[in-house]
């Protein structure tokens, strides 16, 4: 099974950091920063920190594990954190070298119902979780940390 990590990263101005994906012959969609856990990653959190450096040229403070999504071929661990700085000039992930994979554009989205409704965030289960959290006026940092129940 492929292990993946993703980060729900909230900025100080209450925006969600997303990556707008445009690929040939595919409608535009948005994803959270993250990716495959590599054999050199000691922990899931270390993998996410590496992915944030590669994809955003940034650093984040991880707060909690808020969702685990099991698929047929992979398992995605969704973490919540805050991010204060990033540098697109310092992005270094392998996805930026292969133009056939399409574009990976940083897109800040207001962390509001309207903001989330304005994009097609993948995976759908995470988009629904975030939208429900906002609708229920729950501070995402008050969501249960699933690391304590695993």
Going residue by residue through the chain (150 aa), what tens digit of pLDDT does each one get?
999 999 999 999 999 999 999 988 889 999 999 999 999 999 999 999 999 999 999 999 999 999 999 999 999 999 999 999 999 888 887 666 666 677 889 999 999 999 999 999 999 999 999 999 999 999 999 999 999 865
pLDDT at position 64: 97
pLDDT at position 134: 97
Alpha carbon 79 to its chain's center = 8
What CA–CA distance (Å, rounded) separates 46 from 29?
A: 26
Q: Domain 2-140 in CATH: superfamily?
A: Nucleoside Triphosphate Pyrophosphohydrolase (3.90.79.10)
- Domain chopping of the chain, boundaries: 2-140
pLDDT at position 150: 58
- Inter-residue contact 71 to 77 (CB < 8 Å): no
DSSP category for residue 92: -
Q: Which two tokens stand for residue 46?
A: 């270390």
What CA–CA distance (Å, rounded) separates 13 from 69?
A: 28
Q: Which two tokens stand for residue 108?
A: 């800040």
What CA–CA distance (Å, rounded) separates 128 from 133?
A: 8
Helix (H) or strand (E) holding 79: strand 74-85
pTM attached to this predicted model: 0.93
């Amino acid at each position: 099974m492929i292990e993946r990590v993703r980060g729900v990263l909230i900025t100080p101005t209450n925006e969600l950091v997303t990556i707008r994906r445009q690929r040939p012959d595919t409608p535009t969609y948005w994803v959270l920063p993250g990716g495959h856990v590599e054999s050199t990653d000691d922990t899931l959190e270390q993998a996410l920190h590496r992915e944030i450096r590669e994809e955003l040229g940034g650093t984040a403070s991880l707060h909690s594990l808020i969702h685990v999504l099991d698929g047929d071929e992979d398992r995605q661990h969704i973490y919540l954190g805050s991010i204060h700085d990033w540098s697109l000039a310092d992005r270094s992930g392998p996805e930026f070298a292969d133009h056939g994979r399409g574009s990976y554009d940083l897109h800040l989205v207001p962390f509001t119902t309207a903001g989330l409704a304005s994009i097609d965030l993948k995976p759908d289960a995470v988009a629904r979780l975030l939208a429900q959290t906002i609708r229920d006026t729950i501070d995402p940092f008050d969501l249960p940390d699933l690391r304590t129940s695993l």
